[in-house]
């Protein structure tokens, strides 16, 4: 009987490890998505800023 109980404990430990690995991978995926999103936002902001600056310079000339 003890052999089966040990196998159950080992299986439970493996489940916990896999759940933690899954959480870590999901977190990593979300972080990569945030980086991509932030990069797009910064690029669009830079384009917008350059357009606004050029229009301001044209008006002041």
Domain boundaries, the chain: 1-61
Per-residue pLDDT band at 60 (split at 50, 70, 90):
low
Q: What is the pLDDT of residue 34?
A: 97
Rounded CA-CA distance 43/36 in Å is 11
**pLDDT tens, 10-56?**
999 999 999 999 999 999 999 999 999 999 998 888 888 888 777 77
- On the question of pLDDT at 9 being above 80, the answer is yes
Q: What is the pLDDT of residue 5?
A: 94
Q: What is the pLDDT of residue 4?
A: 95
HSE-CB at 45 with a 13 A cutoff on CA atoms is 6
- The H or E element containing residue 24 is helix 2-60
61 SS3 class: coil
């Amino acid at each position: 009987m003890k052999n089966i109980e040990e196998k159950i404990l080992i299986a439970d430990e493996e489940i916990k490890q896999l759940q933690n690995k899954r959480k870590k991978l999901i977190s990593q995926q979300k972080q990569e998505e945030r980086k991509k999103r932030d990069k797009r936002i910064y690029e669009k902001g830079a384009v917008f800023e350059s357009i606004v600056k050029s229009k301001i310079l044209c008006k002041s000339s």
